[in-house]
Amino acid sequence: MRDAGPVAYLPRYDLFAIARYAHVQAALTNWQDFSSARGVGLADFAREKPWRLPSLLLETDPPLHDRTRKLMDRVLSPAAIRALRADFTAAADALIDALVERGSFDAVRDLAEAYPLTVFPDAVGMPRENRRFLLPYGNMVFNSFGPRNAFFEAALRDAAPVLEWVQAQSRREALAPAGFGAVIHAAVDTGEVARDEAEILARSLLTAGVDTTVNGLGAALYCLARFPAQFERLRADPSLARGAFEEAVRLESPVQTFFRTTVHDVAIGRDVGTGGKAGGDGMTSGGMTGDGTTEGEETKGETTKIETIGAGRKVLLFLGAANRDPRRWEQPDDYDITRRAAGHVGFGTGIHGCVGAVLARLEGEVVLTALARKVARIEIAGTPRRRYNNTLRGLASLPITLHAA
Ligand code: OVM
């Protein structure tokens, strides 16, 4: 799809696809042309009723988004995250000690799922019971951004029994007086958000806080297991842990795709340069009408077609493809923990850029630091199994053996 041009049309789902780094980056930072309010999945909320109340964060545009995002920025502020560091580090050290002792285990279930399922609901202020219910719920939501295919239907069946539970956990009464949930609900008292809005914002944490980091940690473990020379470098210098996690998010891109909807005609495909040295933003909007190819343009020896996407069309942004675009990255398919991975779009970018990225990065850092200090070698001990999802890329199972340092 990258090589097909700046934009490709996918007839099966009647949508446009953008897969080159420069154009994905430009679309993500252009909320004026690329709206989130009609849903960031294939379903167009202007035509079909959403299966749940839309997220007040993910599935909104300014000005509503500015108000809710401001609150969530405060909930997940650097200071709030700093306060968690000691507990998150202790939990990572304890878990890795226990797993080294055990030797062989499933890196997905016993580490990538186990770690976020402990530390994240604690930080939110959730009760201990039934935390695993967050997994089928997240799996369902991320499948629901895609077509109503077999993955979607299976995920819906798996999640049906926990839908009511998730809703109940978002309520003020269900959440501890200290924690992210309480901070959201306290904003009702100051009039910043309404009570029903606070519940939907708390739901965002429960939706987006677990499966994402499970697949981020899973990606990092899978990379370190497959690239032993990189794990050696990490062991030699555990301060590379943050970079090792970031590079895994770039390479594997646990969240592969998100949709936007054009609010008017949008022209795509002007020369946006290569290698991130882009001059223009790759987009011009308004004024151009019609559909399909408008004209060809010569740019540095490469003919770039300018296409106009009509108003009200779904556009699929391929974050994973952008993160491996050879126009932007050297040796894009290599896992290199000292690469300058900054600028990757694995956490999105722009006004909808991941609000929880600071927390994800803390989880990645402390888990990889513990591995670097306590483990001499990570051995793949069985056949990894993929978990297929319409949005997420990750594994259902990764049998490994840890050899103690
Ligand atoms: C939300 C939400 C749900 C899924 C993903 C996400 C990656 C946010 O409910 O706000 O961001």
**CATH code, domain carrying 364:** 1.10.630.10
**Mean pLDDT across the stretch 366-379?**
98
Residues framing ligand 1 (Cβ under 6 A):
55, 57-58, 141, 204, 207-208
Q: Is residue 52 part of a domain?
A: yes
Ligand 1 mean position to 45 CA, how many Å?
16
Q: Is residue 147 part of a domain?
A: yes
Domain encompassing residue 34? 8-263+312-404
Q: Is residue 34 part of a domain?
A: yes
Q: Is residue 269 part of a domain?
A: no
pLDDT of 394 higher than 80: yes
**Mean pLDDT across the stretch 116-142?**
97
pLDDT of 370 higher than 60: yes
pLDDT of 290 higher than 80: no
**Mean pLDDT across the stretch 286-314?**
58
pLDDT band at 79 (very low <50, low <70, confident <90, very high): very high
Q: Is residue 228 part of a domain?
A: yes
Question: What percent of the chain clears pLDDT 90, i.e. is strictly above it?
Answer: 90
Ligand 1 mean position to 249 CA, how many Å?
17
Q: Is residue 284 part of a domain?
A: no
Radius of gyration of the chain (CA): 21
**Mean pLDDT across the stretch 152-181?**
97
pLDDT band at 305 (very low <50, low <70, confident <90, very high): confident
Q: Convert the pLDDT of each residue in 337-354 to its tens digit.
A: 999 999 999 999 999 999
Of residues 290 and 367, more confidently modeled? 367
Count of domains in the chain? 1
Q: Convert the pLDDT of each residue in 181-222 to its tens digit.
A: 999 999 999 999 999 999 999 999 999 999 999 999 999 999
**Mean pLDDT across the stretch 61-70?**
98
Phi then psi dihedrals of residue 302, to 5 deg: -115, 130
Cβ burial, residue 300 (10 Å; 0-12/13-18/19+): exposed
pLDDT band at 270 (very low <50, low <70, confident <90, very high): low
Q: Is residue 3 part of a domain?
A: no
Phi then psi dihedrals of residue 396, to 5 deg: -85, -30
Ligand 1 mean position to 215 CA, how many Å?
14
Q: Is residue 287 part of a domain?
A: no
Ligand 1 mean position to 244 CA, how many Å?
25
Ligand 1 pocket test, candidate residues 40, 57, 180, most atoms within 8 A of CB: 57
pLDDT of 280 higher than 60: no
* Contact (Cβ atoms closer than 8 angstroms) between residue 367 and residue 92: yes
CA 167 to chain centre: 22
Reply yes or no: is the peptide bond before residue 63 cis, omega within 30 of 0.
yes
